[in-house]
């Protein structure tokens, strides 16, 4: 069986037990180190193809565990594994954007959730300029500095959530000037808001379509 576990901050007990007995454990180096997976049973996740090949090479009946940050169904590894024809069981975790909105007690059903992680950042940065509430998954190439530069002069507020779920987690609400002067820790996610989280206007309006009303839909 192949089981994909989400991971945020610390492994859940079921993941610890599964990783201890699995024939192969695939994940980021920090995940594998936290789980104390020995070299003979670990594969550090980089490109997905070697992981798929290693899983396929396992003998029948062997168990494989894949560890992914946050919710592995949201811009995560499950899409690629399923596209390769692998049958999976998925145990999700709270995603980093969900945790960031929770840290400032801000509803997120009207937010746009976008990813610059491994993607062309232009659509994500455009969303930050045009939508009043955006949650953005960053990567080392597109992080807080690039987001601030793309939204300069618009009066946006930035919720910087660094190392979310870790013992040294830090969540700050920053103005444009404050954000421009910060070098954030990795990994981090950013909420880009037209209003401070404590402003009633930031609550937005509940709408049956996540992300708010769409002018192109009836």
| Three-state helix/strand/coil letters over the chain | CEEEEEEECECCHHHHHHHHHCCEEEECHHHHHHCCCCHHHEEECCCHHHHHHHHHCCCCCCCEEEEEECCCCCCCCHHHHHHCCCCCEEECCCCHHHHHHHHCCCCCCCCEEEECCCCCCHHHHHHHHHCCEEEEECECCECHHHHHHHCCCCCCEEEEEECCCCCCCEEEEECHHHHHCCCCCCCEEEEEECCCCCCHHHHCCCCCCCCCCCCCCC
What's residue 217's pLDDT?
47
How far from the centroid of its chain's Cα atoms is residue 3's Cα? 19
Question: Mean pLDDT, to the nearest integer, of 91-108?
Answer: 96
Whether 72 has a pLDDT exceeding 60, the answer reads: yes
Phi–psi pair at 8, nearest 5 degrees: -145, 105
**Topology (CATH) of 2-91:** Cobalt-precorrin-4 Transmethylase; domain 1 (3.40.1010)
Whether 216 has a pLDDT exceeding 60, the answer reads: no
Structure tokens at 90: 């998925």
Whether 152 has a pLDDT exceeding 60, the answer reads: yes
Q: Are 103 and 135 a contacting pair, CB within 8 Å?
A: no
pTM of the model: 0.89
Q: What is the mean pLDDT of the chain?
A: 93
CATH class of 96-203: alpha beta
- Domain extent listing, the chain: 2-91, 96-203
């Amino acid at each position: 069986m192949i089981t994909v576990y989400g991971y945020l901050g610390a492994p859940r007990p079921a993941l610890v037990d599964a990783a201890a007995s699995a024939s192969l454990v695939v994940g980021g180096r920090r995940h594998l180190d936290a789980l104390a997976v020995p070299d003979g049973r670990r594969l550090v996740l980089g490109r997905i193809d070697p992981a798929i090949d290693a899983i396929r090479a396992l003998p029948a009946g062997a168990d494989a565990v894949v560890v992914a940050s946050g919710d592995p169904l949201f811009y995560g590894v499950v899409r690629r594994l399923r596209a390769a024809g692998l049958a999976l069981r998925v145990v999700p975790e709270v995603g980093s954007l969900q945790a960031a909105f929770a840290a400032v007690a801000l509803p997120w059903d009207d937010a746009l959730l976008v990813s610059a992680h491994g993607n062309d950042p232009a659509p994500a940065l455009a969303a930050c300029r045009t939508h009043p509430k955006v949650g953005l998954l960053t990567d080392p190439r597109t992080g807080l500095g690039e987001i601030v530069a793309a939204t300069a002069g618009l009066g946006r507020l930035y919720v910087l959530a660094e190392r979310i779920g870790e013992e040294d987690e830090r969540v700050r609400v920053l103005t444009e000037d404050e954000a421009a002067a910060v070098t954030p820790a990795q990994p981090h996610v950013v909420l880009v808001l037209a209003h401070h989280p404590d402003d009633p206007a930031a609550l937005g309006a509940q709408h049956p379509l996540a992300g708010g009303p769409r002018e192109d839909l009836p």
